[in-house]
């Protein structure tokens, strides 16, 4: 990335030097993991509050929200909201009926956790997978 000191990257030029990777692959890898300006790990209470406020004001515009939260990517913000902070997440213990339904869906759909989660009110894919 030193070849692009002004901070504007030519993803086409970068992808040309990385076998079997598209411009989108390279950009996403940079944004989601290699960009040194992004924080990783635990979220602070201030970041959580900024994320909640931003979602209330800007909906699911994760690119805009990430600039407000600061030092987190749009993907990080989206994941934090959808898996942790969204107030519609059902946090109660799983009922026996839900467990039975989850097993049935698993046998029919395999590990398509996003599809499985659509059959539950307030349960997320990660929660279904972890169950």
Q: Which tens digits make up the pLDDT trace of 78-119?
A: 999 999 999 999 999 999 999 999 999 999 999 999 999 999
Asked if 49 and 65 touch (Cβ cutoff 8 Å), the reply is no
Number of residues that make up the chain: 131
* Residues 53, 65: Cα–Cα separation, whole Å: 9
Confidence of residue 71 (pLDDT cuts 50, 70, 90): confident
pTM here?
0.68
Q: Confirm or reject CATH 1.10.10.60 for domain 45-85, answering yes or no.
A: yes
Domain extent listing, the chain: 8-37, 45-85, 96-130
Percent of the chain with pLDDT over 90: 61
d(CA 20, CA 99): 42
């Amino acid at each position: 990335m030193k070849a692009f000191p002004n901070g504007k990257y030519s993803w086409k030029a970068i992808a040309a030097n990385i076998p079997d990777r598209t411009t989108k692959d390279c950009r996403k890898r940079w944004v989601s993991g290699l960009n040194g300006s992004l924080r990783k790990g635990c979220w602070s209470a201030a970041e959580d509050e900024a994320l909640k406020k931003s979602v209330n004001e800007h909906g699911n515009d994760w690119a805009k929200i990430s600039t407000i939260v600061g030092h987190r990517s749009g993907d990080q913000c989206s994941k934090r909201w959808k898996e942790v902070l969204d107030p519609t997440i059902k946090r109660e213990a799983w009922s026996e009926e839900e467990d039975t339904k989850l097993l049935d869906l698993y046998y029919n759909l395999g590990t398509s956790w996003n599809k499985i989660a659509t059959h539950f009110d307030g349960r997320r894919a990660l929660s279904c997978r972890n169950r």
